[in-house]
Structure 1
């Protein structure tokens, strides 16, 4: 089955990681409730890997992460692009997404977030 993935990468001030985790937990529950197959949020751990001398751009370089920031990488898995569009429409219509529901501003700079939708070309599952 060809899956579809929405992917995100962005820096979060390290002091805001607990606040971000709480927000991500609520978001994950919301996407799963409306049909997403999987929701994953990860914080950078091995950001300067040894690749046997292979030159590559790291996530901190990509996101221009400062010393007081951490890289967050997240993705949501769907059955297809059409399924993604259906789930995201339901999420956006959910009362939990009403701006009045949010007590605080986002715990990261939204303008520094990179996002894209990806059609799978190889996928393995157990």
Structure 2
């Protein structure tokens, strides 16, 4: 069964192009490590909630856009094997090197987690 890594982050709206380039480089590593597909979704219709919402979850500022991303893996074992290689890749692969591919957002406000699907519809 597939396994999903999900992410929500706030990106300065002015950094959209930088974010896309950063993601293009970094996400290609996940594909090389066995990911089925990766989605990077730029916030378009993010309503304010009454108790919480995406913007508050990542403390988005007025000049930031919420990004919702996920990586689909064929299974948890493939994902775990890929994650086990990440520390080394951050030292050896320019796509994961924070100096050569810096995050154009505040990574401390990113939220993420791994998810086991309990139901899927469609493709």
Tell me, yes or no, whether TM beats 0.5: yes
Supply the RMSD in Å over aligned alpha carbons. Answer: 2.3
CA distance in structure 2 between the aligned counterparts of 1:22 and 1:105, rounded to whole angstroms: 10
Cα deviation, 1:65-99, whole Å, max 9, x if unaligned, reads: 11100101110011222110112234544432563
CA distance in structure 1 between the aligned counterparts of 2:62 and 2:56, rounded to whole angstroms: 12
Q: TM-score, normalised by structure 2?
A: 0.83
Aligned to 1:19: 18
Structure 1 unmatched ranges of 5 or more: none
1:124 offset after TM fit, Å?
2.4
1:102 aligns with 2:99: yes
CA distance in structure 1 between the aligned counterparts of 2:72 and 2:101, rounded to whole angstroms: 28
Query: Cα–Cα, structure 1 residues 84 and 59, in superposed 2: closer, same or farther, change >3 Å?
Result: same
1:17-96 to 2 correspondences below 5 Å: 17-48=16-47, 57-94=52-89, 95-96=92-93
CA distance in structure 2 between the aligned counterparts of 1:80 and 1:104, rounded to whole angstroms: 28
Rg bigger for which structure? 1
CA distance in structure 2 between the aligned counterparts of 1:25 and 1:104, rounded to whole angstroms: 10
Structure 2 unmatched ranges of 5 or more: none
